[in-house]
Structure 1
C-alpha cells in the first residue's frame, strides 16, 4: 500500500508503533540505571556502609563548636518567610561562634525589614545590603555575603572554620550545626539531607517533592558519596571548609567562590570541591524518636512555581552542567554526571509515553467500530514491554518504601498517586529549561528567576515519622 493511500487511522497506528518502540526502549534503559542504583544501595546497606547513624537526644545541640561558623542566607523578596527562618535558627543554635549573614538587595526594603525583625537585636546576625538592584543571580548575592564575611575576618583577625549555606525559607535542625562542625574534621564538604514538608493545602504539587527528596537523599546521594563520585551541594544544610572555599574563591579571580554565570552555583561548587582534591561526605543521622536530622522546607505549592523551580534545576545542572563541567573522572563519576543530565531526555520519554496513551485510547475506541491495527508487537518488543511493566511496579514499591520511611505509609501511598503530577511538572519544566538555555546561547542575561514562598515549616504542625 502506498503511503498516500493510508487512512488517518493507519497513520495513527504507525505513530503508535513508533512511540511504543521509542518509549519502551528508553524506559528499559532508565529502569536498568535505577536498578543498578538500587543494587548499589542494597549492597552498601548490607555491608553497613549506608546505615543512618543514631545520635543522642541532645547530641551536638548547644555544645561549643570547634571554630567560628558563618551561615550565608541570600534573599530576594522573601519577607514572608525569612524572619521565621532567622528567628528559629537563632533559637535552636545558641552557639556564640555562630554568625548569620543575611543578604538583600537595595531595592528590597521589605526583606530587609523582615531580617531585622527576625534577628530581634541578636548581634550574631549581620544584615548585608547588595549595592545593585535585584535580582541578579543567587550566586552573585552569595558572593556579596562572602565578601562581607571576609571583611569581618580582616577586621576581627579571627577566621571562620566553616561556611554553611541556607535558603530564606529553611527550617534548620537543632543538631545540624554541631553535626556539620564535627564532620568537617574528616571532610572538606558535608551535606545533610533535605526533607520537604507535606503541605495540606497542596497535596499534589507542593508535596510531590517529599518522595523525590526522600529517595534521592535516602539512596542516590548515599551511593554517590560511598563510590567516591563528586557530591553536589543542595545549597541548604551544607558546610564547607573555610580554607578550601578560599582556595576556590582565589581561583575565581576575586569574584568569590560562587559562579555568577551558573543557575545552580551550589551544585557546581560541590563538583569543584572534588576537582580541588577535597573530601565530600553525605551525612545521615537520626534522633532517638526516629526523626532524621535534616533541613526542612515548604516547596512551591502551585504548578507555575514548581515548573519555574525545576526548569532552573534542569537548565543549570543538565544543560549548563554539560557546557561548564564537561566529563571527567572514572566510571562512577561518569555514571553520576549522566544521571544528573538525563532530565531533558527523561522528559521527552515521558511526553512520548503520554502521547502513546492518548493514541492507544483513540485506536481502542476505533476498534469498537471495526478498525483493526495493521501491526502486532513482535516477540522482542513484547518482552521489552513486560520488563518495563515489571520495572514500573518495582519503582513504585521503592518510592513507596523510601517515602513511608520518612513520612509514614499514608504519604507513601499519596506518593504513588502523585506520579502523574510529578511527570507533568517534569515535562513542562524541561520545555521551559530548553527555551531558556537557547535564549542564553543567543545572548540573554541570566537572572534569579526564583520561586517565592508563602509557608514556613516552623508554622506548620510537626510531621512525625511513622513506620
Structure 2
C-alpha cells in the first residue's frame, strides 16, 4: 500500500510535471511575444532618434482655417440619451469651421436619444438627425450605412459633393483642431486616423484606467510604427477621416456584395475593417499625431467602460471582430510589414490561452512552494534551457513594465504611470474573460446566430467633467 507520505510525494511530482509543461508552453509564447514587442520598440526608438516620429504642432490660426471641402461627420446612436446631446453641443461649440454637416443616426423606438440629439443641435443647420426606417437596434454598421445613404441623397439634392467623411461615437469629446488636421491630412492620403485618449475616471482607477495605459502605448508607439512601415492602419471608429472618393469605391465594392453602403453590417468591428480595406484597395493611410498651440494632443477624448462586465463585453466584441471575423473576412494581408501587424492584431485569442496558463502557474507555484516550506522534497529540477527561457521572459516583462510606465506617465503624469504598472494584472484578467467570451460568441455565429449590436452603455460624458473643472478655476 502507498503511505500518506508517498502519496503526497507522488502528487508533488505530478504537480511539477504539470508545472514544467506549462512553463515550457507559456514561456515559449511569452518569449515570442516579448520579441515581437521589442521589435516594435526598436522601430519606434529608431524613428524617434532619426526624427521621423516628430509630433507636429498646429497653430490657432491653422486650427480655425476653413476646410478645403465640405466634411460629413457620421454618428450612429442607439440608447445614447445620456451623452449624445453633450457630444453634439460640444462639437458645434469648438469646431470653428462652418462647412460640415453632422449626421446623427437614431431610431424611432428610441425617443430619448432623438430628443437629446435635437436638444444638443439647438436648431443648428449643420446638424442632420436621420431616423432609421427600421426599429433599433440593428447594428452600428447598418446605422452608419443609413447615414451614408442620407449623405448621398443630400449631395444629389443640393448639388455639391463632400470632400471627406469623418466617423465619431456618441460619447466623444472632439478636439477643436480635429477637422483642420483631418482635412489637411487628406490632401496626401485617402484615410487618416488621429489618436484616441481615454479620460481617467477617479471612480474607476482600475477598470477604466487600464484603457488609458493600452491606448496611450498603442497610439503613441504601435500606430506610429505601422504608419512608418507602410502597413494598413486600422480605423478606430472615432477621429478618423476618409476621402469621399475612397468611401465611394468601397461602397461600390460592398454593393456588389449586396450591402447598401461602405460599412459591413455583419461585422462587429466595421471600423477596423474599413481602415484595412482602404489599404487593400490601393489607398493611402496615415496616422497623425499633432499637438495644439497649448501642447495638448489633438485627439478624441472619451470615457471608457468603468465596470468589469462592460469592459469584458466591449473587448470581447473587439476580439471577435478583429481576430475571428478578420481571419474569415480579410485574410492575412500582403507584404512582411502588413503580415506582422495583422498577426499582432489577431493574437488576442492566443493571449487568452497563454495568460490563463500563466496564472495557473502562479497557483501551482504557490502550492508547491507551500509544500516545500512544509518539508517536501523537490522531485525534479528545471532544465537549464527552460531556466534561460524563464530569465529572458522575466527580462522581457521588466522591459514591458518600464515601457508601460513611460508612455502612460508622459501623457497622464507620474501617478498614472505608476498605476499603469500595477494595473497590468487587471488588464490581463479582463483580456482572459474577453477572449473566452469572444470565442463563445464566435462559435454561436458559426452555428447560425445573428450578429447583434452588443453596445457599451454610456452614463457620463467627459465634457461635464471638463466644464466642472473650468467652473472651479
Shorter-chain TM band: over 0.9
Q: CA deviation at 1:454?
A: 1.2
Q: Deviation at 1:251? A: 1.1
CA contact (8 A) 1:172 1:294 kept: yes
Query: Which residue, out of 244, 250, 260, partners 2:252?
Result: 250
2:208 matched residue in structure 1: 206
Distance 1:344 1:9, change over 3 A: same
Query: 1:151 matched to which residue of 2?
Result: 153
Question: Would you say the 8 A contact 2:13–2:380 is kept in 1?
Answer: no
Which among 53, 56, 60 is matched to residue 56 of structure 2? 53
Q: How does 1:326-405 map to 2 (within 5 A)?
A: 326-405=331-410
For residues 403-414 of structure 1, the aligned pairs below 5 Å read 403-414=408-419
Q: Which residue of 1 aligns with 2:42?
A: 39
CA contact (8 A) 1:59 1:175 kept: no
What is the CA distance between 1:461 and its match in structure 2? 4.1
Q: Are positions 1:425 and 2:427 aligned together?
A: no
Classify the secondary structure of the residue corresponding to 1:296.
strand
Q: Is the 8 A contact 2:319 2:435 kept in 1?
A: yes
Residue 328 of structure 1: CA displacement? 2.5
Which of 16, 20, 39 is the equivalent residue of 2:23?
A: 20
Report the secondary structure of 2:125's partner residue. Answer: coil
Tell me, yes or no, if the aligned pair for 2:12 and 2:379 is still in contact at 8 Å. no
Q: CA deviation at 1:107?
A: 1.3
- On the 8 A contact 1:232/1:266 being kept in 2, the answer is yes
Partner of 1:171: 173
Matched residue SS, 1:129: strand
Q: CA deviation at 1:403?
A: 0.6
Matched, 1:184 2:183: no
In 1, Cα distance between the equivalents of 2:452 and 2:62? 38
Q: How does 1:271-286 map to 2 (within 5 A)?
A: 271-286=276-291
How far, CA to CA, are the matches of 1:132 and 1:60 in structure 2? 41
SS in 2 for 1:460: helix
| Match 1:70 to one of 69, 72, 85 | 72
Task: Tell me the SS of whatever aligns to 1:281.
Answer: strand
What's the TM-score, normalizing by structure 2? 0.95
Q: Does the Cα contact within 8 Å between 2:195 and 2:219 map onto a contact in 1?
A: yes
**Could you report, residue by residue, the CA deviation over 1:204-237 in whole angstroms, capped at 9, with x for unpaired residues?**
0011100101000000000101111111000000
Cα distance in 2, alignment partners of residues 105 and 443 from structure 1 = 26
Task: Check if 1:296 corresponds to 2:301.
Answer: yes
- Partner residue, 1:305: 310
Q: Secondary structure at the match of 2:275?
A: helix
* Superimposed CA distance per residue, residues 233-277 of structure 1 (whole angstroms, 9 cap, x where no aligned partner): 000000000011011101111510001111000000011101111
Tell me how far 1:406 sits from its aligned partner: 0.7
How far residue 60 of structure 1 moved from its aligned partner, in angstroms, is 3.2
Structure 1 unaligned segments of length 5 or more: list them: none
Greater than 6 Å deviation, 4+ residue runs: none
**Deviations for 1:328-382, whole angstroms, at most 9, x for unmatched residues?**
3110011000000000101111111111000100111111222222111111111
- Confirm or deny: 8 A CA contact 2:235 2:272 kept in the other structure: yes
Equivalence for 1:239? 241
Structure 2 partner of 1:193: 195
Alignment gaps of 5+ in structure 2: none
Partner SS state of residue 161, structure 2:
coil
Deviation at residue 117 of structure 1 after TM alignment: 0.7
1:440 equivalent among 445, 453, 465:
445
**CA shift at 1:118, angstroms?**
0.6
Residues 1:293 and 1:371: Cα distance change in structure 2 (over 3 Å) = same
Distance 2:64 2:290 in 1: 17
Distance 1:430 1:205 in 2: 16
